[in-house]
């Protein structure tokens, strides 16, 4: 069953897309504040920083994306400690409610679930031991899961993708495959098949891939993330994809598999033909226009 559409309201506090912003969804009690580290003092002066909630620290360590998930009944006080002890983060997200309605049990549950979701997506975390869920009632857990569902919709829209698994359920793929493609790079032992599902390139499990060795760093963090998560598993001198994996574009999929920058529009071919993805796409658009 298709979920109904929802409206996300973004407010750019200082008028800059890379500055501090808030995000809210109609009929959702939550409130999201995202800001760069340079705006920490301004963020801590806002009322959200004095509320109970969960937060994310986002940055890199040794060139690899890293996330820290935390909770506090006074987020501002916790951030002052992080500013001194964690020098790697460059962006932060604070999640609270407008009426400060979250209590300690709520935020501990949210923290534990966010850690679970990040680990399932293969994200690298700076957290130590996994936090434990609090003893919420059945109704309380249901409320927090509904809250989390909205939050996990909002974060990718803010370019926070650490909770995206990139996987596509088999049933969904079987029901809505638009076309099948293949990628072969015999020189490096790369061989893969993929299907286009709802605009995503889903590479099938069993594909062989290459360690990252090429120039261009756009998709190197994604390649490293999949290796760290075990989705790309060492096999011989290369790698093998152990599960179906979705990618946002043909070029993302081609680059990760080839271990270098790649033009997926050309390197992917319609299965069993020499037709490139680009030519297939143009033909499909022309056909739709004619109809």
Cα–Cα distance, 211 to 190 (Å, whole number) = 10
From 133, 157, 181, the end of a domain falls on 157
Question: In degrees, to the nearest 5, what angle opens at C-alpha 18 toward C-alphas 66 and 23?
Answer: 85
Tell me, yes or no, whether 13 and 121 share the same domain. Answer: yes
From 157, 185, 201, the end of a domain falls on 157
Cα–Cα distance, 114 to 69 (Å, whole number) = 7
Q: Helix, strand or coil for residue 91?
A: strand
> Model confidence at 36, in pLDDT bands (50, 70, 90)?
very high
The predicted pLDDT at position 1 comes to: 44
Question: In degrees, to the nearest 5, what angle opens at C-alpha 57 toward C-alphas 55 and 63?
Answer: 160
Cα–Cα distance, 124 to 189 (Å, whole number) = 28
Tell me, yes or no, whether 113 and 234 share the same domain. Answer: no
> Is residue 209 included in any domain, yes or no?
yes
Q: Which phi and psi (to 5°) does residue 124 adopt?
A: -90, 125
Cβ-Cβ contacts under 8 Å for 165 (sequence gap 6 or more): 120, 121, 122, 246
What six digits make up the tokens of 129? 């031991």
Tell me, yes or no, whether 177 and 260 share the same domain. Answer: yes
The predicted pLDDT at position 71 comes to: 94
The predicted pLDDT at position 165 comes to: 63
> Is residue 1 included in any domain, yes or no?
no
Tell me, yes or no, whether 193 and 146 share the same domain. Answer: no
> Is residue 267 included in any domain, yes or no?
yes
Tell me, yes or no, whether 137 and 213 share the same domain. Answer: no
Tell me, yes or no, whether 145 and 202 share the same domain. Answer: no
Number of domains in the chain: 2
Q: What is the pTM of this model?
A: 0.65
pLDDT (tens digit per residue) in 113-144: 999 988 877 788 998 877 777 778 899 999 99
pLDDT (tens digit per residue) in 216-231: 667 888 888 888 888 8
Q: Is the pLDDT of residue 173 over 50?
A: no
Tell me, yes or no, whether 151 and 197 share the same domain. Answer: no
Tell me, yes or no, whether 22 and 75 share the same domain. Answer: yes
Contact at 8 Å (CB) between 250 and 201? yes
The predicted pLDDT at position 147 comes to: 94
Tell me, yes or no, whether 142 and 218 share the same domain. Answer: no
Q: Which domain holds residue 225?
A: 170-290
């Amino acid at each position: 069953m298709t979920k109904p559409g929802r409206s996300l309201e973004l407010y750019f506090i200082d008028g800059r897309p890379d500055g501090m912003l808030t995000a809210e969804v109609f009929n959702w009690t939550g409130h999201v504040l995202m800001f760069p580290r340079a705006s920490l003092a301004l963020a801590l002066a806002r009322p959200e920083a004095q509320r109970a909630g969960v937060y994310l620290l986002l940055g890199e360590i040794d060139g690899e994306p890293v996330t820290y998930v935390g909770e506090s009944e006074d987020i501002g006080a916790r951030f002052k400690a992080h500013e001194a002890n964690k020098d790697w983060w460059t962006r932060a997200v604070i999640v609270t409610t407008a009426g400060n309605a979250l209590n300690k049990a709520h935020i501990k549950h949210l923290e534990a679930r966010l850690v679970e979701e990040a680990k399932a997506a293969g994200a690298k975390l700076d957290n130590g031991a996994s936090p434990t869920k609090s003893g919420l009632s059945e109704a309380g857990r249901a409320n927090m899961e509904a809250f989390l569902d909205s939050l996990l919709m909002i974060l990718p829209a803010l370019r926070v993708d650490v909770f995206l698994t990139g996987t596509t359920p088999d049933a969904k793929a079987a029901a809505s495959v638009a076309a099948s493609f293949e990628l072969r790079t015999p020189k490096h032992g790369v061989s893969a098949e993929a299907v286009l599902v709802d605009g995503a390139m889903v590479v099938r499990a069993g594909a062989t891939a290459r360690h990252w060795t090429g120039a261009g760093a756009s998709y190197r963090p994604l390649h490293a993330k999949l290796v760290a998560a075990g989705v790309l598993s060492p096999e011989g001198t290369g790698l093998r994809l152990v599960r179906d994996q979705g990618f946002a574009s043909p070029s993302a999929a081609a680059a990760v598999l080839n271990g270098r920058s790649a033009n997926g529009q050309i390197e992917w071919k319609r299965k069993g033909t020499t037709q490139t993805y680009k030519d297939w796409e143009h033909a499909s658009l022309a056909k739709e226009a004619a109809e």
